[in-house]
Amino acid sequence: MTRTTPQTHGEILAAAARRFAVTGYKGTSLQDIAREVGCSKAAVLYHFASKEALLAELMAKPIEVLRQLDERIDALDGADAQRVAAEGFVDLAVRFRREIALLRGEFPELLAQPAFAHVQRISERLLDALAGCGEGPGGRIAAFVVLAGVPEACAEFVDVPDDELRPALLAIAARALAPLDPSTPE
Amino acid sequence: MTRTTPQTHGEILAAAARRFAVTGYKGTSLQDIAREVGCSKAAVLYHFASKEALLAELMAKPIEVLRQLDERIDALDGADAQRVAAEGFVDLAVRFRREIALLRGEFPELLAQPAFAHVQRISERLLDALAGCGEGPGGRIAAFVVLAGVPEACAEFVDVPDDELRPALLAIAARALAPLDPSTPE
DNA sequence: TCAGGCCCTGACCGATCGGTCAGGCATGCT
DNA sequence: AGCATGCCTGACCGATCGGTCAGGGCCTGA
């Protein structure tokens, strides 16, 4: 409990990432983080306005990249949008899988918080793009399986190297999103 | 707060299912459930030993069916096991999607509880079966995407009729689990 | 009539949560 | 020397959680 280093900000961030990865966001208390850093809970709240602000700083980069992906997709449509969405999403999930792992299964609640409302909206547009020009609900269902399954897989296989995980997930996404039945154009 | 009906047990169960579906298991307090039923929190704990016991009773049937699926798979191997696992898992997910929806994103924590340890084990065997005789990690990754994505999709598309959801998911599972590259036996 | 069991209540418990607050202790500028 | 500022502390707050407990109505069978 005797810490005087001024780089505590970064240490808290790192400790929070470590704890969130093990016990989740809701499952980790500010006390836990403080204990891991070796400072008081009040010190954590001195450096970060709130627990949510801590999470927001941890997720700032992946969210920014997601926003950029959304912009790129917005300029395309149909099959192009679908391809870019799938590749971009897998890239993003693989690249930031450590951050994704922090939120194992807490996406729904977290995205419901007003601070992440725009992420929610982007996710919906991403779903549309992945579903493609598809007819019927089949496309949307497939898109949802990919949208939910890929991040979970990334969180699960954190230790698999990028250049092994990415192509595997790209192949899965491509197969899963293939048109349901090309012979029925409708 | 003046209830004297003796069928309260069932009412509590139904109310809990409704609340869990909206705010999740952890996000729903015994107080919430009691309020919905119109009784006291103590009454809820009179009929159920604990909050966990309430959840266990809600999930008893789907878990039993999952256990039966595990037995069926155990008697097979290779491609047969993979096919049965995929079909059985999709069937189960579609049939019990209302129960699955109760646990949106809370599977990891819930399965970690000792009361659901056997479910955890079954899930791992199911993953192996879905991965098939596959070489390398590609098969396991695909299996995991399906294992995580299908239940989430079921929870999301609760209102889509069975005979529309099931074939769509079966098609997706079949495509996603297809051998990565038959030309490289390795 | 009365004993006993079922169903339920309100009051209460200890624990934990995120967050606040006044103050202490260095350091460094004036 | 004196003062301000940055960093951090322990004590504390109100809320909420799952769960316990003694007791009170009410029905039933003796």
CA distance B171 to A181: 10
Subunit contact B145:A141, Cβ cutoff 8 A? no
Give the three-class secondary structure for B176: helix
Q: Taking CB atoms and an 8 Å cutoff, what residues of chain B touch A94?
A: none
Selected residue with higher pLDDT from B184 and A80: A80
A101 touches chain B (CB under 8 A): no
Chain D positions under 7 Å from a protein CB? 6-11, 16-22, 26
Q: What's the token pair of residue B59? A: 């999930």
Judging by beta carbons within 10 Å of its beta carbon (0-12, 13-18, 19+), is residue A95 exposed, middle or buried?
A: middle
Q: Strand C: list positions under 7 Å from protein Cβ.
A: 6-11, 16-22
pLDDT score of B108 more than 50: yes
DSSP helix/strand/coil, B44: helix
pLDDT at A115: 77
Task: Output the CA–CA distances (angstroms, integers) from residue B51 to B43, B58, B117, in the order listed.
Answer: 12, 11, 17
Residue A1: pLDDT above 50? no
Q: Give CA–CA dist A91/A162, Å, rounded.
A: 9
Inter-chain touch B144–A145, beta carbons under 8 Å:
no
Nucleotide D7 C1' to residue B113 CA (A): 40
B181: confidence class by pLDDT, cuts 50, 70, 90: very low
Per-residue pLDDT tens over the stretch B129-167: 999 876 678 899 999 999 999 999 999 999 999 999 999
pLDDT of residue A135: 66
C-alpha closest to that of A99 among A150, A48, A144, A61: A61
Q: How far apart are CA A155 and CA A150, in angstroms?
A: 9
* Chain B nearest C-alpha distance from A60 (Å): 22
| Residue B12 pLDDT greater than 90, yes or no | yes
Dist CA B132 CA B149 (whole Å): 18
The predicted pLDDT at position B6 comes to: 62
B-chain CB neighbours of A137 within 8 Å are 157, 160, 164, 168
Chain centroid offset of residue B124 CA: 14
CA angle B118–B62–B44, rounded 5-degree value = 90
- Structure confidence by residue, pLDDT tens digits, A82-116: 999 999 999 999 999 999 888 877 777 788 777 78
Average pLDDT value over all residues in chain A: 88
CA–CA gap between residue B145 and residue B147 (Å, rounded): 6
Q: What is the pLDDT of residue A104?
A: 77
Q: Report whether A153 contacts A169 (CB < 8 A).
A: yes
The set of residues, in sequence order, having a beta carbon less than 8 Å from that of A140 and lying 6+ positions away, is A127, A131, A134, B157
CA distance A28 to B22: 23
Q: What is the pLDDT of residues B91-100, one digit of tens each?
A: 999 999 999 8
- Tell me the CA distances in angstroms from B50 to A184, B2, B44, one per residue in order: 53, 23, 9
Query: How many whole angstroms separate alpha carbon B51 and alpha carbon B29?
Result: 9
DSSP character at residue A1: -
CA dist., res. B38 & res. B58, Å (int): 20
Are B107 and A106 inside 8 Å of each other by CB?
A: no
